[in-house]
Amino acid sequence: MAEIFNLTDILVQINDTIHTMNITFLSSPLQLHFDEKSNAPMQISISLLVIIITFLAFVLRKTRKRVEKPLKFEIPFPEASQPNWKGKRLTVPDIYQPEDPENIYCYCPSTSQLLGKFKSHSPEEIDALIKKAEVAQPKVYNDEKFHLKKRKFLRTLSEFIIKNQKELARVACRDSGKTMVDASMGEIMVTLEKINWILKHGDDVLKPSDRPGPANILMKYKKAQVWYEPLGVVCAVVSWNYPFHNLMGPIIAGVFSGNGVIIKCSERVRWSSEFFINVVKGALKTCEIDEDLVQLVCCWGKDADAVTGNPRLNHLTFIGSRPVAKYVAKKASENLIPLVVELGGKDAVVICEDYLKQKGIDTIAKTILRGTFQSAGQNCIGIERVIVCGDRENYKLLIQKLKEKIDQFHIGSDIDQVEEIDMGAMIMGGEHFDKLESWIEEVSSKDQGKVLCGGRRFIHPNYPQGHFFQPTLIADLDPSSVIAQNEVFGPICSVMFAENDEQGLQLANNSEFGLGGAIFTADRKHGFEMARKFKTGNVAINDFATFYVCQLPFGGIKGSGYGKFGGEEGLRGLCNEKSVCFDRTPLIGTSIPSVIEYPIKNGKKAWNFVSSMNKAAYDYSLHGKINGIYKLAQNAN
């Protein structure tokens, strides 16, 4: 029995088993001694070494996970996030109250309950906050343990989010009016995905990137790389529609890439943003990272120049409207601040004739409803136009199915889970509602479509001051109508018919926007062909908006902006892409030939030398290369 447990015998048995399996391509033997007394050699194949190396890699990975184990920390949640919270309701809900112009009034769009009052940051305060991040950034990045700390920070943050999903969702819902389900999908899930994608792939993305180097064979002794180093302080001016994710996304990428991060949140979600930034700072502090690295600023529009034109910034991302983007770009240009702008979209879903025939109406109807009405339509990559191609009978059936479902929608507030709600409130009411109602009225008055349901604001019996808008369905929408050409950013489902797929794609491209879009077809090859012709920055085939969850670079073309954030390109975009070249070996390096040394002694010979070098390096024919090398040698001295 003792022999069974002899290490040498066990290894021999493993080796014999491998050879019995006839894995001949791994059968190169090595001589190893396991028993010094007997000096008995044994044959151990490279296969066994592979097993040992794999085992060691597994152990190292487990060790790394233990080192990166998330830490626990506690942040008290605000009282307003608790179920059945009773807060004062504003008679006229608005972030700006004329009797108190210095304060920002944050309130719940569903219930009009006051969440808190906050001072607008002054230009001096904004500069001081940015300076804090500027001072902290080099100290944090140059910490020899930063690589470990930043990974632990993300794991700690992820763990906190997972354990406090419901509480975090409530905070987002109080400030945005959306439903808990919408918050879970659009706030929590996408944030966890971003964290875990960066943990899995971020190090590979930011490690030095080997490049092919020169095409010139005479310079192949040079190695070329791109190094990715933090820019310094990066800023994101984020929109209000997803208060948790829009704040967390830039912080996750910015901290991981070694930058200081400034978040300029919307005044409309200042209350939740203050809490979310405290969560981030709590995680930073717990992981022994200077919490000054991340700062939140919020101010009235009149003071926004102190952010977008601040010379301390090294990069700026702006998410918002086109008119504001033009002004932001002008201010950023004064200090040559690199800028990425994402300006919304008018995303179209093109449903090819073959898809409806094969998949039926129910499947696509579910996708359209989720893509249109999630977060009450306040999605930059939500579905704003539905284009059905080729089959009028299926077109009519789809509209019928959509109307049937929309008529059953329940509107309200489910933050306290006192009722089943399909769609919540919108963050902006007032003038935005006036605009939507006027556009819908124009469609009816000009006979540009059929308004089958909805079309105006909804006065909720329990929350009369809430920002609710009826889910709306418009069929046969005229592509030239104002509602077909402008981003509605609301719960409006617009459906059009196209005679064929080609015309459907033409309708989809007939827009000033170019952010995202979707194609539904039963033929993958046809889907790829359609996607190539789709004039947008992002396309999903047989789905909607999942390109965002897939961590691809995100951004649009045309009126939807320029530049990308997210994915590999987004992470590297927060870095100085430093080009570095060096000798592959210290034995070979660059020296200046005497014939071209200054002062040049013989201009004709110098010319012959350089022109021969070009011929030797770049002539396409072998004869030309040989001739070039020969003349190069002739003129070398």
* CATH number of the domain to which 142 belongs: 3.40.605.10
Average pLDDT over residues 409-438: 91
pLDDT tens-digit series, residues 559-603:
999 999 999 999 999 999 999 999 999 999 999 999 999 999 999
Q: What is the pLDDT of residue 40?
A: 44
pLDDT tens-digit series, residues 290-304:
999 999 999 999 999
pLDDT band at residue 29 using 50, 70 and 90 as cut-offs: very low
**pLDDT of residue 30 exceeding 90:** no
Rounded Cα gap, residues 278 and 489, in angstroms: 30
**What are the φ/ψ torsions at residue 43 (nearest 5 degrees)?**
-90, 125
pLDDT band at residue 347 using 50, 70 and 90 as cut-offs: very high
Q: Are residues 316 and 362 in the same domain?
A: no
Place of tokens 């089958």: 452
Question: Based on the structure, what is the number of domains in the chain?
Answer: 3
Q: What is the pLDDT of residue 60?
A: 62
- The number of angstroms, rounded, from the C-alpha of 118 to the middle of its chain's C-alpha atoms is 29
Q: Are residues 446 and 358 in the same domain?
A: yes
Average pLDDT over residues 143-170: 97
Q: What is the pLDDT of residue 636?
A: 86
**pLDDT of residue 140 exceeding 60:** yes
Q: Is residue 70 part of a domain?
A: no
Q: Are residues 474 and 393 in the same domain?
A: yes
pLDDT band at residue 59 using 50, 70 and 90 as cut-offs: low
Render 510-525 in DSSP notation, one character per residue.
-SS--S-EEEE-S-HH
Helix, strand or coil, per DSSP, at residue 125: helix
pLDDT band at residue 230 using 50, 70 and 90 as cut-offs: very high
- The answer to whether 68 is a known catalytic residue is no
Active-site pick, 187, 267, 291, 342: 342
pLDDT band at residue 55 using 50, 70 and 90 as cut-offs: confident
Q: Are residues 524 and 595 in the same domain?
A: no
Q: Are residues 417 and 490 in the same domain?
A: yes
Q: Is residue 82 part of a domain?
A: no
Q: What is the CATH number of the domain that holds 510?
A: 3.40.309.10
Exposure b/e, 419-438, CB count within 10 A at least 16 = b: eebbbbbbbbbeebbebbee
Q: Is residue 267 part of a domain?
A: yes
Q: What is the pLDDT of residue 45?
A: 67
Where does a domain end: 507, 528, 553?
Answer: 553
Q: Please report, for residues 78, 162, 273, 280, the alpha-carbon distance to residue 158 in angstroms, rounded to integers and kept in the order given.
A: 20, 6, 18, 11
**pLDDT of residue 343 exceeding 80:** yes
Q: What is the pLDDT of residue 48?
A: 75
**pLDDT of residue 83 exceeding 90:** no
pLDDT band at residue 52 using 50, 70 and 90 as cut-offs: confident
pLDDT tens-digit series, residues 475-525:
999 999 999 999 999 999 999 999 999 999 999 999 999 999 999 999 999
Q: What is the pLDDT of residue 374?
A: 96
Q: Are residues 312 and 439 in the same domain?
A: no
Q: Is residue 83 part of a domain?
A: no
Where does a domain end: 491, 525, 553?
Answer: 553
* Residue from 132, 265, 133, 251 nearest 191 by CA: 251
Portion of the chain with pLDDT greater than 90, in percent: 86
Q: Is residue 20 part of a domain?
A: no
Q: Is residue 37 part of a domain?
A: no
More confidently predicted of 163 and 68: 163
**pLDDT of residue 542 exceeding 50:** yes
Assess whether the previous peptide bond of 599 is cis (omega < 30° from 0): yes
Q: What is the model's pTM? A: 0.88
Where does a domain end: 523, 553, 583?
Answer: 553
- Record the tokens describing residue 509, joined without a space: 């491209």
Q: Are residues 364 and 336 in the same domain?
A: no
Q: Residue 598 burial by CB count (10 A; 0-12/13-18/19+): exposed, middle or buried? A: exposed
Q: What is the pLDDT of residue 66?
A: 61
Q: Are residues 337 and 355 in the same domain?
A: no
Of the given ranges (46-55, 103-112, 274-283, 622-631), which has the lowest mean pLDDT? 46-55
Q: Are residues 533 and 404 in the same domain?
A: yes
**pLDDT of residue 46 exceeding 90:** no
Domain hosting 298: range is: 99-343
Q: Are residues 155 and 235 in the same domain?
A: yes
Q: Are residues 282 and 358 in the same domain?
A: no
Portion of the chain with pLDDT greater than 70, in percent: 91
pLDDT band at residue 6 using 50, 70 and 90 as cut-offs: very low
Residues 6+ apart with CB under 8 A from 545: 347, 371, 379, 381, 382, 516, 518
Q: Are residues 392 and 311 in the same domain?
A: no
